[in-house]
Homo-oligomer: A and B are copies of this chain.
Amino acid sequence: MIVGSTKEDVSLEKRVALTPDSAKNIIGLGLKICIEKDYATHIGIKDEEFQKVGVDIKSSSKEILSSCNLLIKVNCPLENEITNLKDKTIIIGMLNPSLNKKKLNEILKKDIKIFSLELLPRITRAQSMDVLSSQSNLAGYRAVIDSIFEYEKAIPMMMTAAGTVPAAKVLVIGAGVAGLQAIATAKRLGAIVSATDVRSASKEQVESLGGKFLSVEQAEDMETSGGYAKEVSKDYKKKQAELMKQALIKNDIVICTALIPGKPAPRILTEELVKLMKPGSIIYDLAAEQGGNSAFSEAGKINFVEGVKIIGVKNLMNRLPLTASSLYSKNLFSFIRNLYSREKKDFNLNLEDEIINKTMIKEN
């Protein structure tokens, strides 16, 4: 069985699906691997490093697509790749099924099975394959680094001979995986961190990282059984806006991470709220690609509104391609290990397995 991987569109995506480390692991399962030439040179991994662990380097993507049984990708395969795909291939990646519906349907027309890892059920056994966790975690970290980079003052409190630099105040909206890591990172740098979320379990979690939790009073718990958030009521929204009003006046940096799976991101910072912030403040919207938690936020753009910098994030992982690839690639390995049966020496698409069943994309 051959696992193949082709280059991504490097202008849009710097991550790679395979690192030498996990290549080694996959080969350890008894599989063969071939990848395209210069597969990861753009992030400093030379082809020789892959070869050292036993990976075949092919000069063109066509060669790979025509020979491999399993294609692993970061994003959806490119148009020209799809045409070259042979029947019975399996594809695994973060394929963003809602966005790439058409493309995927096209692929499904061939006898191809597609697994998109965003769809993983959040069960304990799937944790090691959970790409959302691994990538959101980095996103939370990077969000803080980026916003601090953009921020024109120093973050930590410093009492010096030339006066005191007050500590910056950071507000994190949404305390999921990304939000928690953002809290931790900002806290480390010495910021005064507060956070809010609709799920009541998150209060303890925020406090476990030394952050302050701002809770919307008398609110029901908005957690679904899957651990995700539900959409909130009007009344809740009003109360939350009131809370945000108080908070935004005080805070210097706001990091937005609130998401509701399968829905557009909740709009939490309205135009008026944004304008309440001090000039020089920063809103860093990790949810921008899903519609944004903040007014004025546009994916891939920085907008200035009355001195407030609103940063809409796009392709954030391109800022940490090495770490992100390494984690993603380990996630992929775990998924493949679950899929591949060493005895049968074949992939075992056991639809009884929740993990395999839920991630598989069915035509629609």
Binding site for B on A (CB under 8 A): 43-44, 127-128, 130-131, 133-134, 137-138, 141-142, 145-146, 148-149, 152-154, 156, 158, 160-163, 165, 185, 188-190, 279-280, 307, 319-323, 326-328, 330-331, 334
Pairwise interchain contact A162-B280, C-beta atoms closer than 8 A:
no
Pairwise interchain contact A321-B44, C-beta atoms closer than 8 A:
no
Which are the 9 A-B pairs with shortest beta-carbon distances? A44-B279, A134-B162, A162-B327, A127-B161, A163-B330, A149-B149, A153-B323, A44-B280, A162-B330
Q: How far apart are A191's CB and chain B's nearest CB, in angstroms?
A: 10
Alpha-carbon distance between A307 and B334 when the two chains are bound, in angstroms: 30
A146 to chain B: closest residue by CB: B149
A134-B160, A149-B146, A156-B188 known; A165 and B279 CB under 8 Å?
no
A130-B162, A327-B165, A330-B163 known; A322 and B137 CB under 8 Å?
no
Alpha-carbon distance between A128 and B163 when the two chains are bound, in angstroms: 8
A43-B280, A280-B43 known; A152 and B327 CB under 8 Å?
no
Q: How far apart are A172's CB and chain B's nearest CB, in angstroms?
A: 17
Pairwise interchain contact B323-A154, C-beta atoms closer than 8 A:
yes
A160-B327, A162-B327, A162-B331 known; A319 and B188 CB under 8 Å?
no
Alpha-carbon distance between A330 and B280 when the two chains are bound, in angstroms: 20
Pairwise interchain contact B145-A322, C-beta atoms closer than 8 A:
no
Q: How far apart are A167's CB and chain B's nearest CB, in angstroms?
A: 12
Chain B residues with CB under 8 A of A279: 44
Alpha-carbon distance between A131 and B162 when the two chains are bound, in angstroms: 8
Chain B residues with CB under 8 A of A130: 161-162
A279 to chain B: closest residue by CB: B44
Chain B residues with CB under 8 A of A322: 152-153, 280
Chain B residues with CB under 8 A of A163: 326-327, 330
Pairwise interchain contact A321-B152, C-beta atoms closer than 8 A:
yes
Pairwise interchain contact B127-A141, C-beta atoms closer than 8 A:
no
